[in-house]
């Protein structure tokens, strides 16, 4: 991973145009080619980024990153404060806690707990940015990507959205939809999921594992 702290301005040209005026920022270049520009705030989300695959053309004053769609991210650099590279090696991936891992197992055994007619295709379906928890098909044969969390936060929704973007490129999965599943889905995550066109479902861990009966509902 390469980390560059520089005074720069940034211009994106693609589906729309966007401009970041000159300021001191962190430019992160990952080994897979992803380029992200961060400010000292805003938590984990970059101000702008270009996902791999892409082409980076660099000189002392300007970086131009171009993806296969022809979108460009141009970083105009006026001053470099720091430029360092670090070999992180192969990441072992996220280790789920016991409840989250068991939730995934239970839902894989019976996907209809998420939605009627849902059938499991595969657990831990691989994408080039990591595995999605469950790949299913609904009653109409449409592919459904399911991400399972113990507690549903906005970062989990963003994670699923990234998986969906990669999976949509596979002709066999085209038209795929996403479902975000958790014991509790936070209000902010619900809003973000709906904005991303992702469904969300809350499940009861104790009911799934047979520790108690479902609550009775009057109709």
The CATH number that applies at residue 189 is 3.40.1350.10
Predicted structure pTM score: 0.57
* Interatomic CA distance for residues 66 and 70, integer angstroms: 6
pLDDT value of position 217: 44
pLDDT value of position 219: 42
Do 45 and 108 belong to one domain? no
Do 67 and 102 belong to one domain? no
Do 115 and 178 belong to one domain? yes
pLDDT value of position 177: 96
Positions in the chain short of pLDDT 50: 216-219
Cβ-proximal residues to 44 (8 Å cutoff; 6+ apart), any chain: 155
Which residue, of 85, 116, 146, is where some domain finishes? Answer: 85
- Quick check: is 11 in a domain? yes
**Angle between the N-to-C axes of helices 154-167 and 187-195, in degrees from 0 to 180, rounded to the nearest 10:** 20
Exposed / middle / buried, residue 70 (Cβ in 10 Å: 0-12, 13-18, 19+): exposed
């Amino acid at each position: 991973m390469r980390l560059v702290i520089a005074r720069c301005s940034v211009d994106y040209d693609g589906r729309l145009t966007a401009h970041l005026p000159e300021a001191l920022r962190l430019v992160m270049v990952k080994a897979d080619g992803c380029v992200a520009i961060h400010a000292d705030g805003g938590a984990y989300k970059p101000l702008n980024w270009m996902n791999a695959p892409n082409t980076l053309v660099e000189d002392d004053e300007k970086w131009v990153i171009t993806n296969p769609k022809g979108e460009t991210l141009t970083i105009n650099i006026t001053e470099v404060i720091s430029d360092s590279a670090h070999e992180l090696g192969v990441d072992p991936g996220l280790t789920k806690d016991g409840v989250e891992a068991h939730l995934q197992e239970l839902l894989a055994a019976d996907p209809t707990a998420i939605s009627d007619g849902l059938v499991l295709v595969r657990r831990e379906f691989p994408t080039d940015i990591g595995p999605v928890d469950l790949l299913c098909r609904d009653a109409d044969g449409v592919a459904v990507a399911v991400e399972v969390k113990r507690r549903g936060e906005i970062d989990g929704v963003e994670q699923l959205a990234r998986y969906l973007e990669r999976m949509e490129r596979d002709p066999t999965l085209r038209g795929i939809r996403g479902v975000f599943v958790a014991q509790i889905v936070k209000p902010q995550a619900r809003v973000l999921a709906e904005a991303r066109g992702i469904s969300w479902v809350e499940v009861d861990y104790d009911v799934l594992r047979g520790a108690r009966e479902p609550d009775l509902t009057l109709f």
